[in-house]
Amino acid sequence: MEPQKEIAIITCPAPSVDHLDRHGYLFGHPIAHSMSPLFHQTIYDGLGLRWSQLLLPSTNMAQFLELIRHPNCFGAAVTMPHKVAIMAHLDHVDADCVRVGACNTIFRRGDQYVGTNTDTIGVRESFYQNVDARVFHGRPGMVIGGGGAARSAVYALVHFMKCPTVYLNCRDPVEVDAIIAWCTSQGYGDGLVYVSTAAQAEALEGPGAVVSCVPNFPPVTAAEKQARAVTEVLLNKQHKGAILEMCYHPLWTEIAAIAKKAGWQIILGTEAVIYQGLEQDRYWTGKELSELPVREVKEVIAKQLTKARL
């Protein structure tokens, strides 16, 4: 696991909770523009619950750990820069959390505080809820980019989506080495293949599921142009599948346009946001996905993104 950088302590006033039956937090910094509280409020209102998720834009770990001990706190969503550091402070972290090396969700199990990772579920369900799984089962997957999001995508492709091989397409070989080393240490790195050139890509079997984890910037450096060339070669293989574009600002990216032109099904990144959040509420409310107001949530998120573009 990568060493954690020292973080300046930023503390915010504790939100008021007296008006609520239950409450949780979104803990991270910066988080002022997060759609997470609105997302979860739509769930709780749809279920008739007097619950809320409250913003805690803070880097004060001690404050957060005290706040979640409130008897009416159901848990928390955890985002940057705390996804790794929080794991040492929990009573238990589940297997998915350990293998990905990051925690984005805390829930209560009796008096214990348990960490899990629903980012992987967001990737998984983005495909299974929108795509015929036959286009990717048993075929290679591909992850474009590096870092934490790429690691979650690799885990989802290998562990949930029956991809025996995963191509890593990244401009930075150091990031690729780190992903391979981590995944190997956790027992799921054997099928990872670094695809560093278009010529190498030409000789490979086409993928069936692709997850793009890079911002929407045109390639400028030689390394960025090489990574884009790898993407284009693999997307233009005879077999066509589905690509999850994790970037949704803007809603339609250069990579989505390339994939669409090549004949691929496009899954917008909002799907991953929605399904990882629904998985969080499955832990917090005890309701199954079929019992949650999925359609209402999708409508709310779509409206927010439309508003943000105006």
The residue among 212, 180, 176, 215 whose CA lies nearest residue 196 is 176
Alpha carbon of 39 to those of 9, 251, 270, 280, 301: distances in Å? Answer: 28, 18, 11, 11, 7
- Measure the CA–CA gap between 232 and 238, rounded to whole angstroms: 12
The residue among 289, 235, 286 whose CA lies nearest residue 264 is 235
Residues 6+ apart with CB under 8 A from 309: 250, 251
- Measure the CA–CA gap between 50 and 45, rounded to whole angstroms: 7
85 DSSP assignment: G
- Measure the CA–CA gap between 212 and 203, rounded to whole angstroms: 21
Rounded to the nearest 10 degrees, the angle between the axes of helix 36-46 and helix 269-285 is 50
Spatial contact of 193 and 169, defined as CB atoms under 8 Å apart? no
Residues 6+ apart with CB under 8 A from 6: none
Q: Which residue among 5, 83, 225, 287 is the active-site one?
A: 83
Task: Tell me if residue 261 is catalytic.
Answer: no
* Residues noted as catalytic: 83
